[in-house]
Amino acid sequence: MQTDHSDVRAAMREVNRIFEEEVCAGGRFAALERVYTRDAIILPPGQQSVSGIEGIIGFWADTCRSLKVRSCSLRPYEVAVAGDTAYEVANGEVGTENGPVPLKYVVIWKKEGGSWKWHRDIWNLNS
C-alpha cells in the first residue's frame, strides 16, 4: 500500500512559504534556520558550495542584497518521500529589481528534530 505523505507535503509547503515570504520578500535571513538543516549544503551555480547554516545565512543575505531580491516563487512538480528523507524537483522564479529570473532546482529534504528541512540545495538559471 502506497502512502500519500500528505503530512510531509504540507510541511514542505510551509518551509517553502517561509523561504518565499520571510526570506526573499521579507529579508529576514534568520528564518533560514527553519528552512535548512544545521549541516545543510547549498550548491549555487558557478560558485563554491556553502556548508552549514551560518554560511548559508550569510550567502543568502549577501545574494539577496546584491541582486535586490524582492520576491520568489517555488513551484514543485515532483516530490518523493522515503523515510526521513525526501526530494523535490521544481521550477521557480526570483523577482529582482531588474526583473524576474527563472530557475530550476532540486532540494533533498531531511527530517531534523521532528521538522522537515532542506538538507541539500542545488539550482541553476534558465538562461
Using CA atoms of 68, 73, 78, 80 in order, give the dihedral in degrees to the nearest 10.
Answer: 80
Q: Is residue 42 within a helix (H) or strand (E), and if so which, with residue range?
A: strand 36-43
- At 41-89, the pLDDT tens digits run 999 999 999 999 999 999 999 999 999 999 999 999 999 999 999 999 9
Q: Which CATH architecture has domain 6-125?
A: Roll (3.10)
C-beta atoms surrounding 107 within 10 Å: 27
Contact 117, 126 (CB under 8 A): no
Q: How far is Cα 61 from Cα 55, in angstroms, rounded to an integer?
A: 10
SS3 116: strand
Segments making up each domain of the chain, as ranges = 6-125
Residue 1: pLDDT band (50, 70, 90) is very low
Global pTM value:
0.93
> Is beta strand 115-125 parallel, antiparallel or unpaired with respect to 99-112?
antiparallel
